[in-house]
Structure 1
Amino acid sequence: MDERHFETREVHSHARNDQYGAMMPPIYANATYEYASPTEQQSEHRYSRMSAPTRGALEDSFAMLEGGEHGFAFASGMAAIDAVFASTLSPGDHVVAAKNLYAETHDLLADVYAEYGIETTHVPVNDADAIADAIGPDTELVYFETPTNPVLRVGDIEAAAEAAHEHDALLANDNTFASPYLQRPLELGADIVVESLTKYQGGHSDVLAGAVATNDPDVAEDIEYTQYTRGAILGPFDSFLVLRGMKTLSARMDRHCANARAVAEFLDDQPGVDPVYYPGLESHPNHEVAARQMADFGGMVAFELDGDRETVTEFAAGLEVFALAESLGGVESLVEVPALMTHQDLSPDELAEAGIDEGLVRLSVGIEHHEDLVADLAQALDVALD
């Protein structure tokens, strides 16, 4: 493995082998590639659904930053998550998953894979004993996010990996909220890591992309087969945008983390705000686990606002620097109300199971000046709680 620091590796993550000495991988906008003869290819590429140069550069970079040997890029984060399920599960298999998954991941297991005879047991991500107890003889996959979306619970990756492997199951981690700069699940024992590259790795709210990495050659073979047969590949232009974003990941994440810490500490002292969900606060129930397996605590903050739906709506709409929008991980700060927006399709029981109160607010803290972010939150709180 390259022993240089992450900040150096991210800048030089792709091989510079262009004939013109281009510093960035060229955008190869090709569907097909010429053969030398019917039995001899001119290069490793023959058709872009199978492999392509620009996407290949991104896949190599992603795998390297995650500490993996094999990487695969997809058209969205959900396409990457679907590829994990499609590649590892068969009818009759059992999945142990976190209770508070990303809403569409929950739906994928509950509405799509359940139709294939795949059963899912949901357990608290931050309860290692519950994860171990839920694994049975038919369990093929343990799957969770850490930190979770939207209430930022933190699961112990090493403990989950040990429990999964004891029963010959695989552990897959969604690392979107942390990125490989803050956390590398493969180095902590996970078999598969998946990310929405739309978020921190792309970093500029201008691209949809997802990726999977693994060190297991058998898993890699299955994911590669799923990638080219299902065809949810990432195109060359989007691959280029993510590659560009990767080069500044660490610099942006440092600012995201510093700003999120300032925002969380401010909110933690405000009347009408309780609790504040941020792993960097010592009051967070999973602070010690987060401190052990993460380099820093991320750019996401959530909190519950005292009041009804009207109160939280007025607060979110009253922000001026924070834009009212879904998604996360871009340079600009965003606010959303999960029960009314990203998780609106969950039933009241499912919302309660995931710990999502109607007064919950989720912030994606950007890279603006932290004093402007705090001032924006203060003025919106004053109006909404008046």
Structure 2
Amino acid sequence: MPPHREPAPRDRPHSATRQNGRTAPLTAAIAVLVLGAAAMGVALVRSGSGGATAQWFATGASAGASMPPVAPVGDGASVAPAADQQEITMSAVGDTIMSAAPNFLPPNNGKGFFDSVASALHSDLQMANLEQPLTNDTGVSKCSAASLGKTCFQFRSPPSYANILKQAGFSLVTIANNHALDFGAKGHEQTEEALTDAGVKYTGPPGMITTVDVKGIKVAVLGFAPYSWANDVTNISKAEDLVRQAKQQADLVVIQVHMGGEGADHTHVKPGTELYLGENRGDPIGFSHAMIDAGADIVIGHSPHVLRAMEFYKGHLIAYSMGNFAGYHALNSGGVLGVSGVLRVTLRKDGTFVSGSLVPTRMVSPGLPRMDPKKQAITLVNGLSKSDFPRTGAHIAANGAITPS
């Protein structure tokens, strides 16, 4: 199937209610750290858009994520490390489509969809770009009769598939992309409801600042895209204001952004605005640099359906595109379109970059995520980083370690 997809209509407003440009306040989640939890690799995440609950999950030693070390004190109690030494590991993947309902559903109704890449995914904060609504057929679709004769792609999975994300460990997804309204405003609402019911947070709607508490560190995640139902990637000044607001509410600010052209011929990042089918897809370099200048700690890009370069700007990592991660009977897996990876980054509470790695995966027909023994992502991203950003490009070592050049 062709990798290119036409832009979704821009005239449907987002219907979810926001308060003062952000989500409704969350009920504080309280958890008690029991002695010995560090050895279990347990992380605290506050999840669910309405009425947050404390959620503990084991991250697993193989994922490289663990609780901060605890030091014994005189009475046998334990204390956390100094605030400036606290750190978390986050993981992020690119475009994720779990089915093409109603005709193409994965075996076992999606159970175990992400099992083969679980060791790479699990972290303190696991994120994805959800490139489809989770909705029943609403009777309204992007590819309606008016689209006959035109190239049109629309995707959806049943609302129950939000539980597949949750079971795989995803704490948060961005829904700021060109497929969010494939099944209209009602489909968009059902997506939000399904994610909330499953305990998976989401980000992306206008003015939304999504926060999660991870191991005592408050993280704000903002989603951007060039559409009316998302924070606008083309309005950089307004985006800067939102980042500044988020920085006042959280220790770390993470940007998830749909930007840039699409397809196998869009692997390179170039200065200036990018267009796709005549649509303004933002200025990836200008936007990313501006977000970090405004206070963001990391920028993670999506949209091109291919991996792109990584850059360090003022000590902060920018991953310009994470490519196709999963696209069951939906995305083309040929050539570079099938080369993918899991981005893993450890940051301190003050935003300092501690370490990073690119775990190579591949999307195999009919769009399933798998580990890649050939490690194609490492070679591809390292080469693109050197060519597109000779002075600031990240270095990706043979083992996937990400460091400044």
Larger Rg: 1
Taking structure 1 as the reference length, what is the TM-score of the superposition?
A: 0.29
Give the TM-score of the pair, scaled to structure 2. 0.28
Q: Which has the higher strand share?
A: 2
